[in-house]
Every structure is written in C-alpha cells, then in structure tokens.
Amino acid sequence: MTSNISERPGTAVGSAPGEDALRDLYAEWSEIMAANPDLSVRLLRSLFDEWHQPTVEPEDVTYREDVVGGVPGIWCLPRGADASKVLLYTHGGGFAVGSAASHRKIAAHVAEALGVIGFVLDYRRAPEFQHPAQIEDGVAAFDALVEKGVAAHDITTIGDSAGGNLAVSIALALLAQGKQGPGAVIAFSPWLDMENKGETLVTKSDSDALITPELLEGMIAGVLGDAVDPKTPLANPLYADFTEFPRLYITAGSAEALLDNATRLEERATAHGVDVTLSIGEGQQHVYPFLAGRSSLVDDEFAKLASWYRK
C-alpha cells in the first residue's frame, strides 16, 4: 500500500482535512507529558482515554458492556454481523493506559469491516498488575468464549501497540497450554521489544509524534518490574517459538518509531512457517487505523484486511 510521503513528519501530502488528527493528538500529548513529567497514573489514563477522538463513530454499530471470563469490557455489535465469529480486542497503551472505552470505536470499525462482532477487554493494567496478568485476562476471556459455544478457530485475537503484543502473546499462551488457539491474529503497530533497542527508535525519532525510548522505558518498568526478564517470550514475543502459530496480519506506519517491531515480528514468525501478511502505511503514525472514518488509506487497509480475513 502506498501514499505520498509527508512534507512534515508523518503527514501525507495532500491529505484530506482531518487526516492529521492522530498526529496532532500525539503531539499534544507529548507536549503535556514533557511539561508535566510527574503526571499521576490516573491523569495519564485520563489523557490517553482521548485516543478515540481521531476515530469517526462507525454507523450501524451498538455497544454493550459485559464481563467475559471475569474480565470486563465492551461488545461492539455491527448490524447484520456474524455473531458466531468474534474479535477479542486488547487495547494499547503500554499495558498501563488506554481502555475499552478509548478503543471501542476502532474495534467497531474493524468488526464492521470484517462482518463479525468484537469484545474489547478492560484487562488489568500495570503498574498495579504486572506481567503476566494481562495475558491471563486475555486467556480467561478466550476460554470463556469457547465455553459459551464460540469455536476457537472463529475467534481472532487482535490489538494495537501493547495490545498487539497481547494479541500475539495470548495466542502463544494458549498454544503453550495445549489448547486450541485463535484462528487468526491481527496486530496493529505491535510493541514487542521489552529490551527497548529497536533501530527505528532512533531512525524514526524525528517523524514519530509520540513514541520515545524514555516513554517506553517507563512503561517497561511498570509492567515487568524487576522480576521479569525482558527476553521472556510471553512478554517479548520477538523471542517466542511461533511453531503452529495461526496466520498473522500486521500493520504499522512508516513514520513510527516501532516500525521494526512489526518487521522483526514478521521475520521471526515467517522463519517458523507462519502465514504472515505485513502492511505498511506510508507516512503514517503509530496505530494509524485510529483514523478510521476519516482516512482513505485506512479505508483501503480495512478492505485489504477484510479480504485477508475471509480467505
């Protein structure tokens, strides 16, 4: 997929009005965090709950709060969707911020594009709950869906950023437990590298409006603490064994500092025989599908994703 590279970092030449909304939001967050380095976790969570703002409310979708497997969340229910197929969505936010509320619109857009229903998890967040609590919640919700009669292969784990990590690691955990895992995995701009040493953290530092090594370092400390090795495969899937892993779809933006998390995931999974599709949005920021409803590039990406899903 291609679009014109930006004149200013991360902004497409000739972009339609509103397509800068995500970059502008990230830039504002960065300014606020730089000016207030001692923001409490509560205030950071309030800030990141604005994540839904660049996303247009999808049409013909209703929402319902629920608890699945002991984990609260929000159902996204597009009109006419196949209720036998479920997207199990884990939100991004460094395992510490973000919520089902901040991500319900992006999840609903994906569910609508794929013609299925989705459940966005409000999993336990760091630093109050460290690794592997987030994975445990995802596995518990997955198991509960299966117990309710949803076929495992009709569940897709999906997430963005840290939630993209979880979408992958939940599937890995299910395999490790000898269970039937999801039929597919979708990761938007996955953040996987708990060692914080990716090359694009440096090479994309001028174009990424949000992600910095310092921001990630604080989030790593929050979720791993001092007890978890950053090379632990379920915390850092770049060290995982992907044998028998389901087919995998990865997106990332070419302007984002986590780009090489996506490319390294593709390389590792492919080396283990996984059917992998990687799609890069030219000039796009971290988790650019948040521009759903206002970006033709995201429209095209979701059409491509739907075609892949229905294969």
Burial group, residue 219, by CB count within 10 angstroms (0-12, 13-18, 19+): buried
Report pTM: 0.94
pLDDT recorded at residue 19 = 75
In a domain, 1, yes or no: no
In a domain, 31, yes or no: no
In a domain, 34, yes or no: no
pLDDT tens digits along 272-311:
999 999 999 999 999 999 999 999 999 999 999 999 999 9
**Number of Cβ atoms within 10 Å of the Cβ of 46:** 12
In a domain, 256, yes or no: yes
In a domain, 16, yes or no: no
pLDDT recorded at residue 24 = 97
Report the number of distinct structural domains present in the chain.
1
pLDDT recorded at residue 9 = 37
Q: Which residues of the chain have pLDDT under 50?
A: 1-17
pLDDT tens digits along 117-165:
999 999 999 999 999 999 999 999 999 999 999 999 999 999 999 999 9
Could you identify the residue written with the tokens 């995931």? Answer: 265
In a domain, 280, yes or no: yes
The answer to whether residues 264 and 194 touch, using CB atoms and an 8 Å cutoff, is no
pLDDT recorded at residue 5 = 28
Domain extent for 137: 40-309
In a domain, 11, yes or no: no
Q: What is the CATH number of the domain that holds 283?
A: 3.40.50.1820
Amino acid at 124: R
In a domain, 169, yes or no: yes
